[in-house]
């Protein structure tokens, strides 16, 4: 009797008790989040890049256009693929849009962060990691250089400086986050514009950061920078500094750095940046019988057979040397963020376990047998949802190169044909490309970049 009346009259109160509440939350959680992580959806585009089908890659990328929380990444990837197909104006338009979007995400979202406590870190709009932000400016600067607009490239250099200061202020230890190649390129841009003292300062800062890279990543100081430092110190009349570099590097200003020549700078974007994967631990809380899960991201290097590139112009030949190891920088960056990621994950586990226990308790305490059963179903659905939604945030800028290399040569003014050969581990040639009509102007730098993706 009592049972029947409660079914008909007071249907919401008890009926909703278990199944409805817990189940609704479960449904909501499912609705929030697809089951695949961001990085696992990128394979198709990566294959397009390997086969150099840039237009197809852009078409495939366009499917991600409407993902609001990943819109910054969509724009970054778009800009990068556009510059792979040498459309530098379009690339800069995409990058500039990404920059705007990043700025609008400067303020932390209360609603998104609240949700991330219940679901996972991917509910927060991706605003770009600090090193990605610097790379964005760096590639915009390179685009402007290819468009023969060093004045605008200079603007990007100043923005890098501004951003580095902002990151330092935001970081816990107030330490300045510095990027060696961004500083080095800044020096080259100042030199190109005839601002010798600014160029000297940038080269010197790059030198200091490369020293840190030496101890952090075991990366050697680029020889190009050594000769730039020597030349610029000599030109600015910094004789003590010049002598110090001469002794430290065991070299002098290379011959043939004549004022009647121009230089050709080739920048080789090698492979792709590391990809974030998920590692998860699933475990049962023995006391309550509740499933708990922690999922954390880690970086996995992309496969890349290319070691360096060989640049040939007439009888001159140069091998590229490493100027930026993005693979290592990204991994180190994630290490820095890891304590916070773990802390958020643990907090989430506690919240989810508490919700699960509460749902079970409510179901168990229900006097009505049928409602109790329904309540248990609801609690189970919630349990499944809380575990399934616990996914690592594997978002990152995947079309960045794994590393950046550089080679430069001094040439008499004129038009040249440049040959670039990509070299494998045994120095065998993996691919070759010719660049006709490269114009070198007296006292100026000509920049050419290439992005090579292989597996």
Residues engaged in binding other proteins (CB under 8 A): 13, 21, 96, 103, 106-111, 114, 151-152, 154-155, 158-159, 161-162, 165-166, 169, 358, 362
- Identity of the residue, 162 or 370, whose beta carbon is nearer to other proteins in the bound complex: 162
Using DSSP's 3-state secondary structure scheme, residue 59 falls into helix
Nearer of residues 157 and 275 to other proteins, judged by Cβ = 157
CA 350 to chain centre: 30
Other beta carbons within 10 Å of 259: 6
Closest distance of CB 292 from other proteins, Å: 22
Q: In 3-state terms, what secondary structure has residue 284?
A: strand
CB of 6 or CB of 454, closer to other proteins: 6
Considering the complex, state which of residue 110 and residue 281 has its C-beta at the smaller distance from other proteins. 110
Burial 366-382 (b: 16+ CB within 10 A, else e): bebeebbebbbebbbbb
Q: Which is nearer to other proteins, 151 or 258 (CB)?
A: 151
- Name residue 298's beta-bridge partners: 277
Shortest distance (Å) from residue 109 CB to other proteins: 5
Q: How far is the CB of 215 from other proteins (least distance, A)?
A: 30
Please state the length of the chain. 455
Q: H or E element: which one contains 308?
A: strand 308-313
93: Cβ–Cβ under 8 A, 6 or more apart, which residues? 79
298 three-class SS: strand
What is the per-residue DSSP string for 372-433? HHHHHHHHHHHHHHHHHT--------TTS-SEEEEEEEEE-SEEEEEEEEEE-TTS-EEEEE
CB of 405 to other proteins, least distance (A): 28
User: Which of 95/245 has CB closer to other proteins?
Assistant: 95
CB of 5 to other proteins, least distance (A): 18
Contacts of residue 52, Cβ cutoff 8 Å, sequence gap at least 6: none
Return the closest-CA partner of residue 69 out of 121, 114, 14, 30: 121
Distance CA 122, CA 370 (A): 38
Min. distance of Cβ 17 from other proteins in angstroms?
9
Residue 140 or 423: the one with the smaller Cβ distance to other proteins is 140
Cβ distance to other proteins smaller for residue 31 or 425 = 31
Q: Which is nearer to other proteins, 32 or 155 (CB)?
A: 155
Give me the least distance between CB of 111 and other proteins, in Å please.
6
CA angle 274, 279, 284 (to 5 degrees): 170
Is 410 in contact with 257 (CB distance < 8 Å)?
A: yes
Kindly tell me which of 47 and 152 has the beta carbon lying closer to other proteins: 152
Taking the C-alpha atoms of residue 30 and residue 299, their distance in angstroms, rounded to an integer, is: 26
Q: Is the dihedral of CA 32, 75, 103, 170 positive or negative?
A: positive
CB 395 within 8 A of CB 122: yes
Which is nearer to other proteins, 114 or 338 (by Cβ)?
Answer: 114
Nearest Cα neighbor of 265 from 423, 433, 420 is: 420
Q: Least distance to other proteins from the beta carbon of 185, Å?
A: 16
As measured in angstroms, the least distance from the Cβ of 149 to other proteins is 10
Kindly state the smallest distance separating residue 268's Cβ from other proteins, in Å: 27
Minimum gap (Å) between residue 137 Cβ and other proteins: 11
**6: number of Cβ within 10 Å:** 16
């Amino acid at each position: 009797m009592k049972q029947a009346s409660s079914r008909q009259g007071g249907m919401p109160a008890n009926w909703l008790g278990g199944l409805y509440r817990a189940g609704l939350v479960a449904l909501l959680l499912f609705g929030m989040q697809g089951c695949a992580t961001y990085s696992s959806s990128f394979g198709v585009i990566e294959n397009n890049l390997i086969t150099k089908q840039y237009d197809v890659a852009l078409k495939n990328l366009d499917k991600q256009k409407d993902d609001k929380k990943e819109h910054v990444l969509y724009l970054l990837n778009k800009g990068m693929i556009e510059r792979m197909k040498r459309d530098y104006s379009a690339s800069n338009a995409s990058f500039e849009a990404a920059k705007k979007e990043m700025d609008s995400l400067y303020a932390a979202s209360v609603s998104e962060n609240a949700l991330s406590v219940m679901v996972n870190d991917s509910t927060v709009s991706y605003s770009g990691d600090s090193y990605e932000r610097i790379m964005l400016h760096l590639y915009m600067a390179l685009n402007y250089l290819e468009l023969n607009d060093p004045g605008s490239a200079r603007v990007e250099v100043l923005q890098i400086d501004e951003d580095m200061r902002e990151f330092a202020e935001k970081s816990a230890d107030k330490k300045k986050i510095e990027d060696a190649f961004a500083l080095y390129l800044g020096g080259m841009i100042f030199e190109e514009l005839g601002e010798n003292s600014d160029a000297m300062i940038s080269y010197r800062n790059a030198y200091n950061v490369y020293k840190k890279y030496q101890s952090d990543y075991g990366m050697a100081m680029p020889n190009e920078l050594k000769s730039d430092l020597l030349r610029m110190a000599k030109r600015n009349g910094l004789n003590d500094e010049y002598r110090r570099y001469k002794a430290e590097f065991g070299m002098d200003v290379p011959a043939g750095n004549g004022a009647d020549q121009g230089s050709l700078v080739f920048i080789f974007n090698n492979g792709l940046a590391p990809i974030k994967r998920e590692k998860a631990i699933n475990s049962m809380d023995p006391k309550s019988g509740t499933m708990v899960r922690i999922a954390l991201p880690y970086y996995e290097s992309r496969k890349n057979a290319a070691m360096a590139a060989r640049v040939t112009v007439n009888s001159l030949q140069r091998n590229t040397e490493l100027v930026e190891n993005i693979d290592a920088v990204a991994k180190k960056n994630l290490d820095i963020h890891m304590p916070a990621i773990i802390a958020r994950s643990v907090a989430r586990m506690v919240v989810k376990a508490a919700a699960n226990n509460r749902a079970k308790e409510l179901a168990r305490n229900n006097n009505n047998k049928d409602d109790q059963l329904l309540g248990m179903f609801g609690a189970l659905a919630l349990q499944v949802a809380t575990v399934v939604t616990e996914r690592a945030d594997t978002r990152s800028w995947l079309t960045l190169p794994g590393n950046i290399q550089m080679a430069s040569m001094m040439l008499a003014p004129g038009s040249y044909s440049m040959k670039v050969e990509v070299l494998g581990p045994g120095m065998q040639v993996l691919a070759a490309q010719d660049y006709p009509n490269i114009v070198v102007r007296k006292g100026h730098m000509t920049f050419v970049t290439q992005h090579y993706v292989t597996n």
